[in-house]
Amino acid sequence: CPTVKEVLEEIVPERRALLAQLKKEHGSKTLGNVTVEQVVGGGRGIKYMLWDPSVLDSEEGIRFWGRSIPECQEVLPTAPGGKEMLPEAMFWYLLTGRVPTDAEAKQFQEELVGRSELPAYVEKVLDSLPKTLHPMTQFVIGVAALNHDSKFAAGYTAGMKKADYWIPALEDSLDCVAKSFTIAARIYNNKYRNGNDSSVPAIDKSKDLSFNFANQIGFGDSEGFVELIRLYNALHTDHEGGNVSAHTTHLVGSALSDPFLSYSAALGGLAGPLHGLANQEVLRFIIDMQKELGDTASDEKVVEFIWKTLNSGRVIPGYGHAVLRKPDPRFMALQQFGVGRKEVAQDPIFKYVDQLYKVAPGVLTEHGKTKNPFPNVDAASGSLLYHYGLTKFEFYTVTFGTSRAMGGLAQYVHDRILGLPIERPKSLSMEAVLALAQKA
């Protein structure tokens, strides 16, 4: 069956033709006006950049090349004996816009796992980091260090043609995704276990990335954990282009920084508490609640706890969203995963997630600040990892990071296919905005 590169070779002329048509026939048309509020308010709603693999609708949530999450769950291949869509299959789909056949997904999985070993110098860099360093900081460093062997950077230095940029960009992107899982496992073993001694199993080339990650950190025997990692990674891949991590990959990549440097920069954004770090914050919040209220509590007590947090000036992590105005379908998919497994559904932490979903939207609505009182993906993800024994919640955003590489870098490859220019929007001082607004 064809490789992902061969499928992309077929697609390249179509995508380039579409961009040429957009520029030629519609280049001067407007897609909306920009208000002062948008300029001072984080650019919300400005239709500003191209992003092909996914589009976010405020009411129904994410669609990957037009398919909703349940539709993807229906068509994307799973592991043998598994039920959850494979992240490798999702990555292929994000890159090509085509659902892989079982044979394509298997071949692609083998290709990625074949790339997942780390160069010795990256292992050395990771092993030399202080254990006290946050896992996300270690992740940023590990991914950036991969740039040492970037084929894109080497090709650029050697003077490759612009039309060919996407080819080494794809090579590096596949390496970056595959090696990110192994970097993540190494960080975990260094920080929370006995380092990376001979007790850490070698990568099993016949298995998928999620299994190998789970196996290397000591959870390979847990069918539930491995399936969760597959679902988790498939769900977090992409959330259109405007979120901080995706946008950063695109922005840094537009300077023709290679995929490793671009994605490493994105990980710095994912490590912020208003973005990916929220998943660790959710667990911290629930554990604090459990410490104060016990394993179960009445709705009234939970509501009181939420108000106490809000009144102390903090946000309720896992709730609210810059675009969504309904419960996040990624949250729903993770909830369903838990509800479908009796032992998870009975876990007190998971039950608190469910109870928060019942009462928090009412409190946030009464509080009256957030435009979206509903849960986002981070409200559920940590409770499931916690249930299976991954209790080091500082590590949770790393798992988000292995996944987001697939969406961010799928578009990175398309950016190079399309030959998009360096990103450089206009900024204005407050005085300049005022002057323009007074004239308008």
Contacts with ligand NMX by CB under 6 A lie at 274-276, 278, 310, 315-322, 369-372, 376-378
Is 182 or 248 the residue whose CB approaches ligand MLT more closely? Answer: 248
| Rounded least distance, CB 243 to ligand MLT, Å | 3
| Rounded least distance, CB 100 to ligand MLT, Å | 23
Q: Which two tokens stand for residue 67?
A: 């398919």
Is 185 or 377 the residue whose CB approaches ligand MLT more closely? Answer: 377
Angle CA 246–184–335, to nearest 5: 65
Residue of minimal Cβ distance to ligand NMX = 320
Question: Which of ligand NMX, ligand MLT, none interacts with 316 (beta carbon under 5 to 8 A by kind)?
Answer: ligand NMX
Catalytic-role residue among 321, 367, 387, 414: 321
Is 77 or 375 the residue whose CB approaches ligand MLT more closely? Answer: 375
Angle CA 64–331–234, to nearest 5: 45
User: CA 184 to CA 400: how far, in whole Å?
Assistant: 10
Question: Which of ligand NMX, ligand MLT, none interacts with 278 (beta carbon under 5 to 8 A by kind)?
Answer: ligand NMX
Secondary structure in 3-state letters for 69-115: HHHHHHHCCECCCCCCECHHHHHHHHHHCCCCCHHHHHHHHHHHHHC
Which residues between 298 and 357 bind ligand MLT (CB under 6 A)? 322-323
215 with 381: CB under 8 angstroms? no
Question: Which of ligand MLT, ligand NMX, none interacts with 207 (beta carbon under 5 to 8 A by kind)?
Answer: none
| Rounded least distance, CB 236 to ligand NMX, Å | 8
Is 376 or 399 the residue whose CB approaches ligand MLT more closely? Answer: 376
All residues at 6 or more sequence positions from 227 whose CB lies less than 8 Å from its CB, including other chains: 82, 83, 84, 337
Q: What is the CA radius of gyration of the chain?
A: 22
Q: Are strands 54-57 and 61-64 parallel, antiparallel or unpaired?
A: antiparallel
Q: Which two tokens stand for residue 136?
A: 């996300």
User: CA 7 to CA 95: how far, in whole Å?
Assistant: 9
Is 136 or 377 the residue whose CB approaches ligand MLT more closely? Answer: 377
User: CA 398 to CA 136: how far, in whole Å?
Assistant: 6
43 with 244: CB under 8 angstroms? no
| Rounded least distance, CB 44 to ligand MLT, Å | 10
393 DSSP 8-state letter: G
Is 239 or 387 the residue whose CB approaches ligand MLT more closely? Answer: 239
User: CA 138 to CA 295: how far, in whole Å?
Assistant: 34
Look at the chain and count its residues.
440
Binding mask 375-414 for ligand MLT (x = CB under 6 A): -xx-------------------------------------
**Number of residues binding to ligand MLT, judged by CB under 6 A:** 6
User: CA 191 to CA 95: how far, in whole Å?
Assistant: 33
Is 77 or 408 the residue whose CB approaches ligand MLT more closely? Answer: 408
Which residues between 229 and 258 bind ligand MLT (CB under 6 A)? 239, 243
Binding mask 194-233 for ligand MLT (x = CB under 6 A): ----------------------------------------
| Rounded least distance, CB 376 to ligand MLT, Å | 5
Q: Which two tokens stand for residue 410?
A: 């799928």
List, in sequence order, every residue forming a beta bridge with 55; answer none if it has no partner. 63
193 with 218: CB under 8 angstroms? yes
Is 83 or 371 the residue whose CB approaches ligand NMX more closely? Answer: 371
Torsion angle in degrees (nearest 10) through CA of 80, 86, 89, 93: 150
User: CA 200 to CA 91: how far, in whole Å?
Assistant: 27
321 in catalytic set: yes
Question: Which of ligand NMX, ligand MLT, none interacts with 372 (beta carbon under 5 to 8 A by kind)?
Answer: ligand NMX
Question: Which of ligand MLT, ligand NMX, none interacts with 145 (beta carbon under 5 to 8 A by kind)?
Answer: none
Q: Is 343 left (phi over 0), alpha (psi -120 to 50) or beta?
A: alpha
Active site residues: 321
Which residues of the chain form contacts with ligand MLT (CB under 6 A)? 239, 243, 322-323, 376-377
